[in-house]
Amino acid sequence: MCVVLIILASIVLAFVVLIQNSKGGGLASNFASSNQVMGVRKTADVLEKTTWGLAAGIMLLCFVCAFMAKSEYNSIHGTSNTQVEQTTSDDAAEE
C-alpha cells in the first residue's frame, strides 16, 4: 500500500516540476484564466509549495513504509530486538 502511494506521489511531483519554469513561466503561464485571478507570481508560489510538500510527503511515506516493513518482518519471523543468551553443552556440563 505504501509503495503505491509513493509511486502516485512521485508521478504527481514529476508533473508539478514539469509545469514549473525556473523563470516563473512554464506551462503555468499558459493558463490565462488562473493567472488573471491569482497572478503569475502566486501561481509560481503555489507550485513551489506543492513541490516541497510532495517531496516531504514522499520522504515521510518512505520512512513509514520502512517502519511497517520492519514490523511485519519481525512479526512473521518471530524476531525482536531483545538479545537471548545461548548456552552450549560445555557450559551446561560445567554447572
Q: Which residues of the chain have pLDDT under 50?
A: 32, 34-35
Q: Are 13 and 55 in contact (CB under 8 A)?
A: yes
What is the reported pLDDT for 1?
80
Pairwise CA distance, residues 41 & 25, whole Å: 9
CA dihedral 6, 74, 71, 80 (to 10 degrees): -140
What is the reported pLDDT for 41?
65
Q: What is the pLDDT of residues 12-23, one digit of tens each?
A: 999 999 888 766
Give the pTM.
0.60
Q: Where are the domains of the chain?
A: 2-76
C-alpha cell, 67: 517502519
